[in-house]
Chain A
Amino acid sequence: MSQPLKIVISGPVGAGKTTLIQSLSEIPVVNTDELATENIGKATTTVALDFGMLTLDGIPIHLFGTPGQDRFDFMWEILCEGALGLLVLVAGDRPQDFPHARRILEFITSRIAVPFLVGVTRQDLSRVWEPEDVAEYFDLNADSVIGLNATSTTSSLLATVRLLELVQAYDPLYAEGLQGKYTFGA
C-alpha cells in the first residue's frame, strides 16, 4: 500500500475547514469542537484538530484541519510537520478575514516549504468574492486560488485534486510518490 499523503487544511474561523473535512472524509471525522464563548458567528469551534481520511486513485490521503484562531497558532506548526500540501480556506463573503488568511498562509509557509492552494469558500452564495479577485488580493498566481463550496463533496474533491496537482508540480519526487513509486517519511 502506498504511504498516506498528509494534507493540512487551515484558514480563519468560519472558513469551512471542519465542513470540508466532513465533506471529504470516508471515515467518521475526529473533531475537537468546543462551545465558543466568543461571538464568532457559530456555536462551536475547533480547539485541537480535525482528522479525516479519503482515498484518491488508491492513494490514502490524511486530512488534518487546524483551529482558526491565532491563539492556537502552535497547532498550525504541529499539524504542518511533514505535510505535503496546504489548503488555506477563506470565506468568500468575508473579505474582512482576508488579511488573517494571508497571515496564516505566511506563518505556515515561512516555517515549512510546502505547496499550497487558497480555497475561497461559499461560492454557492450570490454575493461572494471570485477566486481571481482573491488571487489578486493575495498577490498570487490565479492557479494558486480556487473557488469552492465546502459543503459539497464534489467541490471539495476538485479543490483537493487541484492541490495534489500543485504538489506534483512543486517537486517531481512528489509526482512519483503520487504514482505510488516513492514512499514518504516512512
Chain B
Amino acid sequence: MSVGKQEALQQSLVALRTAIPEVRGVLIASTDGLPMAQNLSGSEDPNRVAAMAATALGLGKRIADTLNAGTLAETSVSGSNGQIFLYAAGGKGVLVVVAPANANVGLIHLEARDAARGIAAIL
C-alpha cells in the first residue's frame, strides 16, 4: 500500500474518532483479514481484530446472499460491555468501530457509513 493511501486511511480514522468521541477504537482491515490502518485505544491486537473483522464480514456477505438481502453493508456484534460495528468499505476493505454498550448507535451509523464510503474511494 502506498504511503499516500496509508495516510489517507489514517486520517479518515482520526476524523471518525473526532466525530464520535465515545468510540473506543477504529480499524480498517483488508477483506482478507490484514490490518491496513488502526486507531485502537485498548490493548487489542490489531492483527487479530483485522482477521476477525474479515471473517465476520465474509460470513455476513454469505448470509445476506443466502437470505436474498443483497449486497452487505454492515454487520454488528453486541455484548453487555460493548458493541462492535463492521462496515463494508467497497469490495476491498472492512471498517471496524468499537463502541461502549450505551453508545449512540444512530450517530455511529451516520458517521461510520460516510467514513466507509470515503475509505472505499481511497482503496
Question: Residues of A with Cβ closer than 8 Å to B?
Answer: 30-32, 34-38, 45, 47-49, 67, 69, 71-72, 74-75
A37 touches B51 (CB 8 A): no
Asked if B10 lies at the interface with its beta carbon under 8 angstroms from chain A, I say no
| Among B31, B34, B59, B61, residue most surrounded by chain A Cβ atoms (within 10 Å) | B31
The B41-55 residues at the A interface (CB cut-off 8 A) are: 47-48, 50-52, 54-55
B51 touches A71 (CB 8 A): yes
Asked if B5 lies at the interface with its beta carbon under 8 angstroms from chain A, I say no
Cα(A35)–Cα(B91), bound, Å: 9
B32 touches A35 (CB 8 A): yes
A45 touches B32 (CB 8 A): yes
B66 touches A30 (CB 8 A): yes
Cα(A71)–Cα(B30), bound, Å: 13
A34 touches B59 (CB 8 A): no
Question: Residues of B with Cβ closer than 8 Å to A?
Answer: 30-34, 47-48, 50-52, 54-59, 61-62, 66, 91-92
Contacts A35-B92, A37-B30, A47-B32 given; indicate if A71 touches B47 (C-beta within 8 A). Answer: yes
| Among B48, B51, B56, residue most surrounded by chain A Cβ atoms (within 10 Å) | B51
Cα(A22)–Cα(B59), bound, Å: 18
**Residues of A with C-beta under 8 A to B59:** 32, 48-49
Contacts A71-B50, A71-B51 given; indicate if A47 touches B62 (C-beta within 8 A). Answer: no
A71 touches B48 (CB 8 A): yes
11 A–B pairs (Cβ distance < 8 Å), ordered by A? A30-B62, A32-B61, A32-B62, A37-B34, A45-B32, A47-B31, A47-B58, A67-B55, A71-B34, A71-B51, A72-B55
